[in-house]
Chain A
Amino acid sequence: MPDTFIKIASVTVGSGTAATMEFTSIPSTYTDLVLKVSARSGSTTGTNVAITFNGSSSNVSMRLLYGTGSTAASLADSTKIAWEQSIASYTSNTFSSADVYIPNYAGSNYKSLSFDDTSENNATLAFAELGAGLWSSTAAINQITLTSSSANFVQYTTATLYGIKNS
């Protein structure tokens, strides 16, 4: 049976903090990419994990369905593709979880992605989100950058990139 789900690389924030985690020189030999992110920010107010490709933060848009623990809503954003993460005021040592799927990342069509995430918190306020994003670029994705929108990622924040092959 062929290996169709392969770990490409992993990043973990060490004893300091980091503003950004970046995967570079992503090989174009897979069909799709999967990114799994376990993140927490040192911010005391709500903050996002933003994803950008090939160093470009333009020509992006997303649609999001989300619940906060007390309300459910949706939003559209044409400035970023991003999801909520755990922050300093949330339960200690809890990290948000996100799964991102990027099909046909090396093709010449615009790049779509879908994601789901939760921001872990042992309280009423905790986000659960389903999102779809679009990077309107025909370039093959060879770099993925994850940025904490305010304050840095704390120690043990981890992102792992996998390659999916269809055969």
Chain B
Amino acid sequence: MADTKIIVNCETGETLEVELTAEEVAQREADAQAFAEAKAAEEADKAAKAAEKAALLEKLGITEDEAKLLLG
């Protein structure tokens, strides 16, 4: 089934449901791709920071709770 768009005209109150144009479908696919890439980059960044933090704690020989105590 084709993706649709619901349009409401605020002047007349008329509501239409229409299929997305080829251009809109292409834009939507590009947006979804960009969104997935941004999410993946965000997750990778988060994982890298967590690994960095764990490595530092190990180097210092203290736990995360102990680090919080020191900085608190």
Interface residues of A (CB under 8 A from B): 8-11, 13-14, 16-27, 45-48, 50, 57, 75, 77, 79-80, 147, 149-150, 152, 161
B-side interface mostly: mixed
Known: A149-B32, A150-B35. A21 touches B6 (CB 8 A): yes
In Å, the complex CA distance between A77 and B32 comes to 15
Q: Which of B8-16, B53-61, B62-70 contacts A (4 or more CB under 8 A)?
A: B8-16
Q: Which of B5-35 contact A (CB under 8 A)?
A: 5-13, 15, 17, 20, 24, 27-28, 31-32, 34-35
* Distance (whole angstroms) from the CB of B40 to the closest CB of chain A: 10
Q: Which of A11, A48, A79 contacts B15 (CB 8 A)?
A: A11
Q: Which of A11, A48, A50, A75 contacts B8 (CB 8 A)?
A: A11
In Å, the complex CA distance between A26 and B12 comes to 10
Q: Which of B5, B10, B12, B35 contacts A48 (CB 8 A)?
A: B35
Interface centre among A8, A9, A48, A79 (most CB of B within 10 A): A9
Interface residues of B (CB under 8 A from A): 1, 3-13, 15, 17, 20, 24, 27-28, 31-32, 34-36, 38-39, 42
* Distance (whole angstroms) from the CB of B44 to the closest CB of chain A: 14
CB-CB nearest in chain B for A144: B10
Q: Are A152 and B3 in contact (CB under 8 A)?
A: yes
CB-CB nearest in chain A for B30: A57
Q: Are B8 and A10 in contact (CB under 8 A)?
A: yes
In Å, the complex CA distance between A19 and B36 comes to 17
Q: Are A27 and B11 in contact (CB under 8 A)?
A: yes
Known: A9-B10, A11-B15, A27-B11. A22 touches B5 (CB 8 A): yes
Chain B residues with CB below 8 A from A50, complex form:
31
* Distance (whole angstroms) from the CB of B72 to the closest CB of chain A: 18
* Distance (whole angstroms) from the CB of B48 to the closest CB of chain A: 14
